[in-house]
Amino acid sequence: MSTLLEIFKSMEYGPAPEAPDAVKAWLDEHGRKFGLFINNEWVMPKGAKFYPSVNPSNGELLAETTQAGQKEVDAAVGAARSAFGTWSKTPGVARARYLYAIARNIQKHHRLLAVLESMDNGKPIRESRDIDVPLLARHFYYYAGWAQLMETELRDYQPVGVVGQIIPWNFPLLMLAWKIAPAIAMGNTVILKPASYTRLSALLFAEIVAEAGLPAGVVNVITGSSKAGSMIVTHPDVDKIAFTGSTDVGRILRQQTAGSGKKLSLELGGKSPFVVFDDADLDGAVEGVVDAIWFNQGQVCCAGSRLIVQENVAAKFIQKLKARMEKMRVGDPLDKCIDMGAIVDQSQWDTIDGWVKTGIAEGGECYQPNIPLPENGLFYKPTLITGLDPAAATVQEEIFGPVLVSLTFRTPSEAIELANNTRYGLAASVWSDNINLALDVASKIKAGSVWVNCTNLFDGAAGFGGYRESGFGREGGKEGLFEYVRPIWMERPRPEFTVDSKWGEHTPTFPSQPTTGRANGHSLPPIDRTPKMYIGGKQVRPDGAYTTTILGAKGKIVGQVGDGNRKDIREAVEAAHKAHLSKPGWAMRHGFNRSQILYFIAENLDARNAEFVKRIVEMTGRTQKSAGAEVDAAVERLFSYAAWADKYGGTVQETTLRGITVAVNEPMGVIGIACPDEMPLLGFVSLMAPAIARGNTVVMIPSQKYPLSAMDFYQVLDTSDVPGGVVNIVTGDRDHLVKTLVQHEDVDSVWYFGSAEGSYHVENESAANMKRTWVGYGLPRDWMDREQGEGHEFLHESTQVKNIWVPTGE
């Protein structure tokens, strides 16, 4: 122990601990044993098994919590279902008051929540006190506002129902807020399962919610292993799953919910780039790195873990960074004079250490500052690995710890390429004092959050979520609401199907025998048309050189189409990508240009109205009037999306940042679309038009039964100035083709309006690269109806939201 005089001379820091007394008293009050929180009551199952909650900074057992089984999960779902009846009908203004009360109550118990969070998770008290808990309250305030406004501002939507929410251990309280606040604001009820390592703050939160007077059953908290998680996910009476966690678990959840009609949102891993240009404030950027990778010991899904520095300042920047690392302080999470606390668990510590060893084995140079660590507890030094190549596993894989890898670049385009050289797309940070450069790079990095000259900023008013394998769905902002509502006309899909392991397999076709209407030899036969695919703006013969004959309603041959195969899909996807690369790429064109093209398509379709009507009648046997209505609706729909082409760009978010936070609705990229059999023209147009209006390029699989309208349609496209590759059409066996699309790693989203079974397969297969999907579960949709056949739902599926944060001030 230093004397005052010694400190006066050395000017060392000393311990500055936050007192744990209140938390200990709370734990004691519960006998250090917790049951499950169901219906606003503690439920202790008979013969319950327990799981220890340990303080990772000192190994101290804090309490034991219950491992829920099927019976308890059923009870929680039952409680939520029963509460849903009244909660969903509680007026928004009343729900708003509950959320407001929760927010207030969080603030009243601010310190208790923060101290408990730090003790259970190991994060510094500064972070839990100044970041996690304030954001927790902020989210409830923000969504209290949307509850207030739902009936007027979201009048076309209804709550989803009972929601299962599974959250990770890195931000137990914050993740809980991101999940619960929008869900209950929109009238859903919730079963929350906190992560095994960090269960306690969710249990305290449950009491705080109950104290705030929330009706029983609206929020239920159950603790348990991943088995309990699976029970929630697969429970038939759960209508939606929201998950934050690893990409691997996300994949399993995607598969477990496939075809069930449950909504799903996933916020998964990342390997986010931190790009520093030579005209950045380098000292500012160094502090940015501290916030990016040493926030929460680097156990952050959006951690800026890949430093990408311009080569001409790289040496200087790394030197500054290393000097800064020497000033880092690692220690007791409750100490108010530290930067980093403890790693959550030994297994995570081992994983991190393993990655550092891998990085060194891969040729990286490892730098760790010469700073002391506490003798006991799970502490890890801030770590920098330089000299690695983009191919190194340490550069590609998420480490989830305080480990930064660094690369260099020469030009802005190379920086963008390196930033995007990842299967993830959660966040990015861009540092430059040149606004043109910074915003250009921000617009080109594929990530859900881009922070310009800042990093790891969060707010209730801005959405957060990933591109690519970082998941789908957004949390925060207005965009976060759509995970918890469904259109008012739509019921919860409960598709029924049996799974055929041969799904998507296909034997090429051969000539069909028409049953009637064979040419009799007396009249002049029509000129034969060779069936083609439409790929890259050109009519091309099917790769396999097989042909499907299409019989009309009366068994008469009405035409032929190519029988597409995997290679046709491959070519179509290539062409769709090329359409983004040509200058200007389809997504880079302005909305006005795209709208002009859509109007032109409508004009040309209308000019051939009679021909399309005739074709529909021939194929489907529907009346002239019905077919006429379909063609007219298709023309109208094109007009609608011509209108939307320059009216869905995004919004300015009212976050707490001084500056501008912009939510940009970016195109998905390349979308594969399998069209419904009903309304062969209108179904096709209703899906193609929103996708291309919002800057996507598409691979269309027309109705398998009635493909000829789509084939006629490419002549309309050809005459309407649609650049080659924006719309590609591949005919053939729908499920066979869509299987290739959904398995294609370079397709960003797949829409499927085929069977219930096909919907299952599409969702299940999409897990391979976590692509976004939109499926119809084989349920009917009235394409003629504007509410069901066009509008926000279609635009929502055509876009992904990127929030760009730009602080201002000179």
Partner 1 sequence: MTSQNALIHSARNPGMPLDLDWVMGAHVNKSAVERRVESLPKRRTVKKEWQAAWLLRAVTCIDLTTLAGDDTPGRVKRLCAKAKQPVRADMLSRMGLDGEKVAVGAVCVYPNRVHDAVEALRGSSIPVASVATGFPAGQTPLPQRIGEIEQAVEAGAREIDVVIARNYVLTGDWKSMYDELKQFRSACGDAHMKTILGTGDLGTLKQVYQASLVAMMAGSDFIKTSTGKESVNATLEFSLVMTRAIRDYLERFGYKVGFKPAGGISSAKQAMAWQSLMKEELGDEWLMPDLFRIGASSLLTDIERQLYHYITGHYAAKHHMPMG
Give strand pairing partners of 486. 158
- Cβ contact 452:804 at 8 Å: yes
Q: 708-718 and 609-620 helices cross at what angle (nearest 10)?
A: 160
Alpha-helical runs (H) found in 621-749? 624-644, 682-693, 708-718, 734-743
Give min distance, CB of 436 to partner 1, in A.
15
User: Between 78 and 659, whose beta carbon lies closer to partner 1?
Assistant: 659
Tokens of 368: 């760790």
Q: H or E segment at 773?
A: strand 772-775
Round to whole Å and give the CA distance between 295 and 382. Answer: 10
Indicate the residue among 3 and 520 with the shorter CB distance to partner 1.
3
Residue with smaller CB distance to partner 1, 583 or 658: 658
Q: Given phi > 0 = left and psi -120 to 50 = alpha, else beta, which region is 261?
A: left
The encoded tokens of residue 678 equal 């009903």
Contact 345, 386 (CB under 8 A): no
Contact residues for partner 1 (CB under 8 A)? Answer: 2-5, 7-8, 10-16, 126, 130, 279-285, 287-288, 291, 312-313, 315-316, 318-319, 327, 329, 336-339, 431, 433, 453-454, 658-659, 807-810
Give the ranges where 362-426 is alpha helix by DSSP (H): 393-396, 412-419
Active site residue 117: no
Identity of the residue, 544 or 807, whose beta carbon is nearer to partner 1 in the bound complex = 807
Return the sign of the alpha-carbon dihedral for residues 411, 413, 415, 421: negative
The token duo for 151 is 């009936």
Q: Which of 18, 301, 483, 797 is catalytic?
A: 301
Shortest gap between Cβ of 125 and partner 1 (angstroms)? Answer: 10
Residue 431, token pair as written in the block:
């540092």
41: exposed, middle or buried (C-beta count within 10 Å: 0-12, 13-18, 19+)? middle
Q: Answer whether 558's CB lies under 8 Å from 551's CB.
A: yes
Identify the active-site residue in 64, 117, 267, 571: 267
Q: Is 675 part of the annotated catalytic residue set?
A: no
Question: What is the C-alpha to C-alpha distance for residues 732 and 734, in angstroms, rounded to an integer?
Answer: 6
Structure tokens at 256: 């477990």
Q: Are strands 49-54 and 61-67 parallel, antiparallel or unpaired?
A: antiparallel
- At closest approach, how far in Å is the CB of 126 from partner 1? 5
Select from 307, 412, 468, 462 the least CA-distant residue to 805: 462
Q: Output the smallest distance, CB 315 to partner 1, in A.
A: 4
Cβ 382 to partner 1 shortest distance, Å: 14
Q: How far apart are alpha carbons 200 and 179 in whole angstroms? A: 17
Could you tell me the smallest distance in angstroms from the CB atom of residue 10 to partner 1? Answer: 8
Minimum distance of partner 1 from residue 15's CB (angstroms): 7
8 A C-beta contact, residue 336 and residue 18: yes
Structure tokens that stand for 152 in this block:
């007027």
Question: Would you please indicate which residues are annotated as catalytic (active-site) residues?
Answer: 267, 301
